[in-house]
Amino acid sequence: MHLTFLGTGGGAPSLQRNVTAIAFTRALSGETWLFDCGEGTQLQFMRSRLKPGKLDKIFITHLHGDHIFGLPGLLTSRSMAGLSTPMTVYGPKGLKTFVETALAISGSYTDYPLTIVEIEAGWTLDDGEFRISAWPLNHTLECLGYRIEQHDKPGLLDAPRLKAEGVPRGPWYQQLKQGESVTLEDGRVINGADYLGPATRGKTLAIFGDTAPTEVALQLAAEVDLMVHETTLEAAMVEKANGRGHSTTLQAAEVARRAGAKRLIATHFSSRYLAKDMSRLLAECQTIFPCTELAYDLAVFTL
């Protein structure tokens, strides 16, 4: 699995970075989910190695412009590119009105099935491989964080042992691989769970929207393999950050430490910070949580 940061800025784009958009891609299938869609996201998409035809779900954290102003353009360009596969967009109440109004007053349309689902904290979706859930954050308007949990993968089926015990090969092997029981023609009942190796633990990921400190963050990011958190401002500007519903470097790192996360990727930096400032922001995070990395536009991280 990979995370591609299409934009890492907060508030407004700058010459150093675009505004927020993060793509989550399954390595084998290439299927992609997009988290937020700030202005210019479709241009960043084209600059990346992502494939537009593999994008089928978009999750919006909140309705501030730096997280949604790229959405109408991306959706309409998808039609112009001839893509006909369904698209579903999830996000807080008001998202449907925003998209439908933008398309209607601009005379735009989509000629593929488009579904907009307004959600709230506590919502979950399970596609059989991943479970994603929405969590309430502490911002100036309703804002969500998303926790992605990959289901554990069953262990390998011990085919040599089955053969040694006289279990013939057949379509029932698929059932045994799932840990199910099958009844053979000779009446024997074979429990697949008895022939499976250790399961492989699924990966977990937390993607935060904009937020000032909140205790909910510790549940959202509990023991995750990778945590993505905004670090809009440096530690010395804590009052300004929190007053506007944002977090500082030290506050993001403290969440990662207390939640037991394995890695932290910091993003959503104020446009006041130039390339020369980033090492200082990273150093602040690492005083609290050493396993911190800073995102930058078009960076790809492997999970």
User: Are the CB atoms for 38 and 69 separated by under 8 Å?
Assistant: yes
User: What pLDDT is recorded for position 27?
Assistant: 79
Alpha carbon of residue 58 to chain centroid? 9
Exposure of 189 by Cβ count < 10 A (0-12 exposed, 13-18 middle, 19+ buried)? Answer: exposed
User: What pLDDT is recorded for position 197?
Assistant: 83
State residue 284 phi and psi, 5-degree precision.
-60, -45
Point out the catalytic residue in the list 66, 111, 194, 297: 66
The enclosing H or E element of 44 equals: helix 41-47
DSSP state of 268: -
User: What pLDDT is recorded for position 155?
Assistant: 81
Residue that has been written with the tokens 């519903």 in this structure: 245
Task: Provide the whole-model pTM.
Answer: 0.89
Residue that has been written with the tokens 């979706």 in this structure: 125
Question: Along the 303 residues of the chain, how does pLDDT read in single tens digits?
Answer: 999 999 999 999 999 899 999 999 987 788 999 999 999 999 999 999 999 899 999 999 999 999 999 999 999 999 999 999 999 999 999 999 999 999 999 999 899 999 999 999 999 999 989 999 999 999 999 999 999 999 988 788 888 988 888 888 888 888 888 888 888 888 889 898 888 888 788 999 999 999 999 999 999 999 999 999 999 999 999 999 999 999 999 999 999 999 999 999 999 999 999 999 999 999 999 999 999 999 999 999 999
Exposure of 285 by Cβ count < 10 A (0-12 exposed, 13-18 middle, 19+ buried)? Answer: buried
User: What pLDDT is recorded for position 77?
Assistant: 94
Q: Catalytic site residue 186? A: no
